[in-house]
Amino acid sequence: MAFSAENRKGTMSGILFVAIFAAAATYIAGLGPIHALGLSPLVIGIVMGIFYANTLHNQTPKEWQTGITFSGKKILRFAIVVYGFRITFQQIADVGLDGFLVSLTMLTTTLILGSWVGTKLFGMDRDTSILTASGAAVCGAAAVLATEPVLKAEEHKTAVAVSMVVLFGTISMFLYPVMYETIIKGAVGFLHMDPRTFGIYVGGTIHEVAQVVAVPASVPGSPKEMADAAVIVKMTRVIMIAPMLIVMGLFLAWDAKKAGGNRDEKMKLVIPWFAVYFIMVAGLNSLIQNYTATAPEATALLINHIISIINQIDTFLLTMAMTALGMGTIFAKFKGLGLAPVYTALTMFVWLVVGGFVVTKTIVEFL
């Protein structure tokens, strides 16, 4: 346990270590030239984290690792829950059926494609293929860890899958803002996306939740509707992990029975509760916003000021999570894994970027 008696000091030191990096990233993001580029503290945080991971990682106490891991997992989930204060149910309704269909289509196709490509084309074992595919299809490392109990996979297979998710998810986080600024924003015809559609595209195709949050924040002058659409669609994908795992468990049981095996053990279902809490907080914020619309001006200003402070704290927590994620991106981990996981993850990455663009444009324009 991270906060057990023997680990408490190291965990707190690790969290403080990440917080110092996040504070530095926040300061740097506010500097004139950096601010003019529109680089968010989230992006700067992960760059600083990656630099640390591949230079000074071995110079810090190992006991701090529990705090770094805590920042990249627990603080991330808490920050996403609090992100609900930026969302209302009306905005969720505005994303509408097209956002849901993009999420469902990309999750299903990516999971099937990755599992098939990994096993049939590149000769990987079934578990590693499905783990890698689930990470790309749903919500990155969290989806890999949630899928592991269903497959009863070995730890090293999970590590391979998480490594691929971190690698290509990080590439996505830097690629998408560049694509939007250089191609999508100024294009005409099929290549053009308005901010809302681009947000749906981001939320429907990028791996990690925090990376989805970072992309709109990295687009200079991006409207709020872009970030809202991205996060809402992404959370739709996250929520879908529960039915996905149920279907996967039933399929694996059927496949084992068909093959003459015996898989009667009860399936362990991991529900991403932070996604449920996010919706609850968004509901609370909806009630608050409805109240402030008719409340006295002074009361409304006070409430909005408090929510603004909450959102600033939340941005800092998200920066901590991204920094911790960067601290886990050690390039040496990718050596010796073989090329099959890379080829599989790369295939899904191309599908998410290119196929996801076509799917998003088609669904949004059709509806």
What is the C-alpha separation between 204 and 120, in angstroms, rounded? 26
In eight-state DSSP terms, residue 334 is G
Instruction: Please check the confidence at residue 266 and state whether its pLDDT lies above 90.
Output: no
pLDDT at 305: 95
pLDDT at 271: 60
pTM metric for this prediction: 0.72
- Decide which of 135 and 34 is more confident: 135
Convert the pLDDT of each residue in 286-309 to its tens digit: 999 999 988 999 999 999 999 999
Mean pLDDT, the chain, rounded, equals: 85
By CB atoms closer than 10 A (0-12, 13-18, 19+), residue 237 is: buried
pLDDT at 235: 83
- Decide which of 6 and 289 is more confident: 289
Instruction: Please check the confidence at residue 107 and state whether its pLDDT lies above 90.
Output: yes
Least confident span in 90-94, 129-133, 167-171, 324-328: 90-94
Convert the pLDDT of each residue in 334-347 to its tens digit: 665 678 899 999 99
Alpha-helix residue ranges (DSSP H) falling in 186-296: 195-205, 209-218, 224-239, 241-258, 273-292
pLDDT at 156: 65
What is the C-alpha separation between 87 and 282, in angstroms, rounded? 5
pLDDT at 363: 95
Instruction: Please check the confidence at residue 261 and state whether its pLDDT lies above 60.
Output: no
Instruction: Please check the confidence at residue 263 and state whether its pLDDT lies above 50.
Output: no
- Residues 6+ positions from 226 with CB-CB distance below 8 Å: 195, 196, 198, 199, 202, 216, 219
Highest-scoring range by mean pLDDT, 126-130, 187-191, 346-350: 346-350
Determine the Cα angle at 199 with ends 136 and 98, to 5°.
Answer: 85
